[in-house]
Amino acid sequence: MAGAGTFDALDLGLLQALQLDGRAALSRIARRLGASERTVARRYGRLRTLGLHVVGQPVPARVGMTRWLLRIHCTPDSAASVAQALARRPDTSWISLASGGTELYCALTTRTPHERDALLLDKLPRTPHLVGVGAHCLLRLFTGITSTWYANGAPFGAAHGREGGSSAPASRSDEHPEPVALDVTDRALLTALAKDGRAGLPELAATTGRSPSSVQRRLQRLRAQGALDFSVDFAPRHLGYDLMTHLWLQVAPGHVSAVGRALATHPEIAFAAATTGPHNVVASGVFRDSQDLYRYLDHRIGSLPGIQAAETAPILREVKRLTIST
């Protein structure tokens, strides 16, 4: 077995299999990796002690929610307290400190214009020590929100499909123009999966008050409708990737989709989306060090047609990850 600070091909294969299907049975993963189920279960337990977490998330565009990215500038002595206050809100899902600790990035999901306005027009403007707030509506996600990993040059990032034999892949949001209607049981199920995306059917049945077979049918329906996806959270630093950064790109009209699709194929990119504002594409990337980032900007970003300007903001600390209220 790999040591406490090292990872071998079996560990990385397990991480990749979970990225492809966060609820895949360990027995099926073991067969795919050519290992015993007991060995895979032991490796999975070890990774859990190091922070591995599978989270079930509603897909905002499919359930009638709008996703925002806030770029908040604070005075140096207030950023940490503002970040903690935002982290306590159930409608925030990801908060990070960047740019010398004076800039916050906050992913926010709202269900109604009233919820949006309550924070953006009422709460934040009255918060002391804020220098400025930029609110950017995410128009199209090109890849999901999770960690990114590598091994021997192969990406272990946000999956763009699921392994053979898993449940049907989530449908693209633009194939279903009408949002999926969620009932009380759906919301209870999503809340439980947000805590543990690999919770067993008996546990989910007890939480929702439904039978295990009913829960299974709901899971299959929500995934087939593109309303539910699973993210795998594992700190990239465990695999030697110590630099995370936000990328803000100005892309010429007509090139946004092409740039976004290209970013989604880059193993360095954990998240990419088209957004409102002067920078119309935003992304988050994971790199080994500053030289790794430099090569990426010079060779990968620099070679994409249509990019007019690029701004980078290294992430100093992540305050909250992977929680979306429903």
Instruction: Mark whether 263 and 128 lie in a shared domain.
Output: yes
Q: Is residue 170 part of a domain?
A: no
Instruction: Mark whether 46 and 65 lie in a shared domain.
Output: no
Q: Are 218 and 185 in contact (CB under 8 A)?
A: yes
- 303: domain range? 61-147+235-320
Instruction: Mark whether 12 and 120 lie in a shared domain.
Output: no
Distance CA 285, CA 91 (A): 24
Read off the tokens for 215: 């829960």
Q: What is the CA radius of gyration of the chain?
A: 20
CATH of the domain at 4: 1.10.10.10
Q: Is residue 180 part of a domain?
A: no
Distance CA 281, CA 308 (A): 11
Q: Is residue 219 part of a domain?
A: no
**Considering Cα of 255, then 261, then 262, then 267, what sign does the dihedral take?**
positive
Q: Is residue 198 part of a domain?
A: no
Instruction: Mark whether 250 and 131 lie in a shared domain.
Output: yes
- How many domains does the structure of the chain reveal? 2
Instruction: Mark whether 8 and 73 lie in a shared domain.
Output: no
Per residue, what are the HEC states of 142-162?
A: EECCCCCEEECCEEECCCCCC
Instruction: Mark whether 8 and 77 lie in a shared domain.
Output: no
Q: Is residue 211 part of a domain?
A: no
**Prediction pTM value:** 0.80
Instruction: Mark whether 90 and 29 lie in a shared domain.
Output: no
Instruction: Mark whether 308 and 251 lie in a shared domain.
Output: yes
Distances (CA, A) of 275 to 81, 105, 260, 281: 27, 14, 11, 6
Give pLDDT, residue 296: 95
Instruction: Mark whether 40 and 101 lie in a shared domain.
Output: no
CATH of the domain at 240: 3.30.70.100
Instruction: Mark whether 67 and 5 lie in a shared domain.
Output: no
Q: Are 171 and 226 in contact (CB under 8 A)?
A: yes
Distance CA 243, CA 237 (A): 8
Q: C-alpha 317: how far from its chain's center?
A: 16
Distance CA 5, CA 138 (A): 37
Longest dimension (CA), the chain: 58
Q: Are 142 and 260 in contact (CB under 8 A)?
A: yes
CA dihedral 215, 217, 221, 222 (to 10 degrees): 10
Instruction: Mark whether 39 and 78 lie in a shared domain.
Output: no
Where the chain has pLDDT below 70, the residues are 1-5, 144-177, 322-326
Length of the chain counted residue by residue: 326
Q: Is residue 109 part of a domain?
A: yes
Give pLDDT, residue 152: 37
Give pLDDT, residue 323: 58
CA dihedral 7, 12, 13, 16 (to 10 degrees): 160
CA dihedral 132, 281, 142, 244 (to 10 degrees): -60
* Domain C-terminal end among 28, 50, 72: 50
Q: Is residue 189 part of a domain?
A: no
Instruction: Mark whether 13 and 109 lie in a shared domain.
Output: no
Distance CA 40, CA 212 (A): 25
Q: C-alpha 183: how far from its chain's center?
A: 24
Q: Is residue 93 part of a domain?
A: yes
Give pLDDT, residue 274: 96
Kindly report, residue by residue over 143-176, the tens digit of the pLDDT.
754 444 443 344 443 333 333 333 333 334 445 4
Distance CA 165, CA 67 (A): 31
